[in-house]
């Protein structure tokens, strides 16, 4: 059963065409990796799927579980179960991690049941404590302002903390590995793997093969010039690690 289906997706940013016909289908239970050089449109794909207003879809389709994503506002896509871990998480001074997560969680619950009164404080505390432990984060993070003064690695952990707390159906992880040292990478990957069986699909966007040693993909795709130029199994990631992207650039000139 196909979960996320992307057909001939074209996306403009400031009237420049960045995505030029992306096709991708992630079947239920699969993990797909998208690799590729910088500036080829990986984050553009992530933002377009989540509904960032600057990323204008000019052609094509994107559905999650049969529902057209492109007609929905970002919060509606989130309520449907789509989650994006940002490559560059934004700081929100004044909003604590705990408050942010509880508000997001309650917004989702309200979609499922308009009468819902929200998660109880003790239940929420218990859940947050459990997820912080999963990511080996100190409980003091809960009271700090979201990403405010966090290190690069801490921001990436907080993204996965959000994923673990919201329990989405489908996650897109945009360069979650960048900024993580090897120990943090292992912890974060374990955190992702702990949710793997409960999610219907995960898209791991990465520049480097390293994270794929921990989060093992079923399929690997390479994005080049706004299209998926090559697809294969995990061995494709290993080949890219050894040989770089040059052979692909030669095979698929701009």
* Contacts with ligand ADP, residue ranges (CB under 6 A): 13-14, 18, 36, 38-44, 54
Q: Give the separation between CA 109 and CA 8, rounded to whole angstroms.
A: 33
Query: Between 14 and 242, whose beta carbon lies closer to ligand ADP?
Result: 14
Specify the residue, 43 or 165, whose C-beta has the smaller distance to Mg ion. Answer: 43
- The strand ranges marked E within 153-210 are 170-174, 201-205
Q: Decide which of ligand ADP, Mg ion, none touches 112; Cβ closer than 5 to 8 Å per partner kind.
A: none
Q: Does 206 help bind Mg ion (rule: CB under 5 A)? A: no
Residue 41's binding partner among Mg ion, ligand ADP, none (Cβ under 5 to 8 angstroms by kind) is ligand ADP
80-119: contacts with Mg ion (CB under 5 A): 87
Would you say 38 or 120 has its CB closer to ligand ADP? 38
Rounded-to-integer distance, Cα 174 and Cα 205, Å: 5
CB of 37 to ligand ADP, least distance (A): 7
Question: Which pairing describes strands 219-224 and 227-232: parallel, antiparallel, or unpaired?
Answer: antiparallel
* Separation of alpha carbons 228 and 225, rounded Å: 8
Choose the contact partner of 39 out of Mg ion, ligand ADP, none; CB within 5 to 8 A by kind.
ligand ADP
Contact pattern for Mg ion over residues 12 through 51, marking x by CB under 5 A: ------------------------------xx--------
Tokens for 55, please give them. 């990323």
User: Whole-number minimum distance, CB 78 to ligand ADP, in Å?
Assistant: 20
Cα gap 74→83, rounded to integer Å: 10
Tokens standing for residue 5? 């289906």
Distance CA 169, CA 158 (A): 18
Say what angle helices 182-196 and 121-134 make with each other, to 10 degrees. 130
Q: Beta strand 219-224 with 201-205: parallel, antiparallel or unpaired?
A: unpaired
Q: Which does 54 bind (CB under 5 to 8 A by kind): ligand ADP, Mg ion, none?
A: ligand ADP
- Cβ contact 64:82 at 8 Å: yes
Q: Residue 44 or residue 78: which is nearer to Mg ion going by CB? A: 44
Q: Which CB atom, from 143 or from 152, has the smaller least distance to ligand ADP?
A: 152
Q: Residue 43 CB, nearest distance to Mg ion (Å)?
A: 3
**Interface residue list for Mg ion (CB under 5 A):** 42-43, 87
């Amino acid at each position: 059963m196909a979960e996320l289906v992307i057909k001939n997706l074209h996306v403009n940013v400031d009237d420049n065409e960045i995505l030029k016909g992306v096709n991708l289908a992630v079947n239920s239970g699969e993990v797909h990796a998208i690799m590729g050089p910088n500036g080829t449109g990986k984050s553009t794909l992530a933002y377009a799927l989540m509904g960032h207003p600057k990323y204008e879809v000019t052609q094509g389709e994107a559905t999650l579980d049969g529902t057209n994503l492109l007609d929905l506002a970002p919060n509606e896509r989130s309520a449907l179960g789509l989650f994006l871990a940002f490559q560059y998480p934004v700081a929100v001074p004044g909003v604590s991690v705990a408050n942010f997560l509880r508000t997001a969680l309650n917004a989702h619950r309200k979609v499922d049941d308009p009468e819902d009164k929200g998660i109880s404080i003790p239940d929420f505390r218990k859940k947050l404590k459990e997820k912080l432990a999963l990511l080996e984060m100190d409980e003091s993070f809960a009271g700090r302002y979201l990403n405010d003064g966090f290190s690069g690695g801490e921001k990436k952990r907080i993204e996965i903390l959000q994923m673990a707390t919201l329990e989405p159906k489908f996650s897109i992880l945009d360069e979650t590995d960048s900024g993580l040292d090897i120990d943090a990478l292992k912890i974060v990957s374990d955190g992702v793997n702990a949710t793997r069986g409960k999610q219907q699909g995960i898209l791991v966007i990465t520049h480097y093969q390293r994270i794929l040693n921990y989060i093992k993909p079923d399929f690997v795709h390479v994005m080049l010039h706004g299209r998926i130029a090559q697809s294969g199994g995990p061995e494709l990631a290993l080949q890219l690690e050894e040989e770089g992207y040059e052979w692909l650039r030669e095979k698929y000139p701009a």
